[in-house]
Amino acid sequence: MPLSDMISLLFCLVFVLSFGNGNAKDLGALCSTCKQITDNFNKGFERTTKKNFGGGNTAWEERKLSKYETSEIRLVEILEGLCDSSSFECNHMVEEYEEHFETWWFKRKTKHPDLHKWFCIETIKVCCPKGTFGPDCNSCVGGSDRPCHGNGRCDGDGTRGGSGKCTCDPGYEGEFCLDCAERYFSEERNDTFSSCKECHSSCTTCTGATNKDCNDCRDGWEEDEEEACIDIDECSKDPPPCKDKEYCLNTDGSYSCNVCDGRCSGCKGPGPGNCVACAEGYKDEEGTCTDVDECELPDAVCTEEHQECVNTNGSYKCRCAGGFEEHDGVCVQQAQPEDSQEGPAEDTEYSNTENVLTEHQDL
């Protein structure tokens, strides 16, 4: 038995002993580490095709170039680029099997040009050929050519781990991923091939793609005279399904209730332009509910002495005018600051909102 086979056997043995059979993830991870290594090897090989020992283009250099192609120096350069320095698994694997790369480079490359196949599958045996899985590289469910009949993923595919069982793509189910899942119908099917398509959104189950092919209508849909499933307009029902301060929005198979704009008192849709009536403090202006500026009303709303009016959204405030402050419900002259270091108080006079006497707000 060649040394490499013994090593890989030993490796497998150690592996099986230390991780047990159920550790499909670790076996899968070993394979993907190996795949990454061989991918990077191929990239390194590409990268070094145009290189030579030094540079220059003399005939002497040409000869050296051809020597470089198969040289140990080139191999070492490729090996250096196989792993990120941070990847423990990768570096560990390269270190452990470094001599295999040398063997392949000098003795097997011509006969076995596919490094992944030679190294990962056949030599260190962490991977399997596509469509196969597990320690012995058995065929996936559905066969190795089209695992899961092309409608799913085979557990452990291409690795020495996994169960070979299928996880079906959306729309398919069953051990072989040939059956159609709920809300899908079979478009085409024989022993080895199955194509499932989604039912129309109005169907529970169906025999075809349109709303006329439903076996039953889903909630929110009803059958019309032509036995097609059509959307129920919940919004037009009596009594209406939404609350007073909400408007109803019909959707396919359902509906939603949405809060009216604050400027409305009842509404038929979003925004201040769909109000049934305007909320207090707002008036209808060409179909849109707009804030009433109470401060501009002919009858003054802030009537106490030294008060001024401030319009707000939907309401207004009365506050003490500049130079006055609120005291027991009346506006009195502001006390002059003793030391005038703070400068004139003009800056803050008009932006002062603390001296609010009365505030009117909608409930």
Q: Which of 150, 208, 262, 273 binds ligand NAG (CB under 6 A)?
A: 262
Q: Which of 18, 86, 110, 190 binds ligand NAG (CB under 6 A)?
A: 190
Q: Which of 207, 210, 313, 358 binds ligand NAG (CB under 6 A)?
A: 313
Q: How far apart are CA 94 and CA 101, in angstroms?
A: 9
Residue 168 phi/psi, 5° resolution? -75, 150
Q: Which of 191, 225, 286, 299 binds ligand NAG (CB under 6 A)?
A: 191
CB of 360 to ligand NAG, least distance (A): 15
CB of 245 to ligand NAG, least distance (A): 12
CB of 157 to ligand NAG, least distance (A): 22
Upper half-sphere CA count for residue 184 (Cβ side, 13 Å)? 18
Angle, helix 3-19 to helix 24-47, in steps of 10 degrees: 140
What the block records as the tokens of 84 is 């990120």
Q: Which residue is nearest to ligand NAG (CB)?
A: 262
By CB under 6 A, residue 186 contacts ligand NAG: no
Q: Of 9 and 259, which has the nearer Cβ to ligand NAG?
A: 259
Cα Rg of the chain, angstroms: 40
CB of 272 to ligand NAG, least distance (A): 7
Q: Of 215 and 313, which has the nearer Cβ to ligand NAG?
A: 313
CB of 138 to ligand NAG, least distance (A): 23
Contacts with ligand NAG by CB under 6 A: the residue count is 10
E-state strands within 190-295? 194-198, 221-223, 229-231, 246-251, 254-259, 264-267, 275-278, 282-285, 288-291
DSSP-derived secondary structure for 86-114:
T-HHHHHHHHHTHHHHHHIIIIITTT---
Q: Which of 192, 236, 251, 361 binds ligand NAG (CB under 6 A)?
A: 192
Q: Of 142 and 314, which has the nearer Cβ to ligand NAG?
A: 314
By CB under 6 A, residue 193 contacts ligand NAG: yes
Contact 155, 166 (CB under 8 A): yes
Q: Of 151 and 159, which has the nearer Cβ to ligand NAG?
A: 151
The CA–CA distances, whole Å, from 353 to 268, 276, 279, 356, 359 equal 37, 34, 25, 6, 11
Q: How far apart are CA 161 and CA 127, in angstroms?
A: 8
Q: How far apart are CA 164 and CA 160, in angstroms?
A: 10
Segment contacting ligand NAG by CB under 6 A, of 21-29, 146-154, 185-193, 236-244: 185-193
In DSSP terms, 350 is beta-bridged to: none
Segment contacting ligand NAG by CB under 6 A, of 13-21, 70-78, 247-255, 258-266: 258-266
Q: Of 10 and 276, which has the nearer Cβ to ligand NAG?
A: 276
Q: Which residues bind ligand NAG (CB under 6 A)?
A: 188, 190-193, 261-263, 313-314
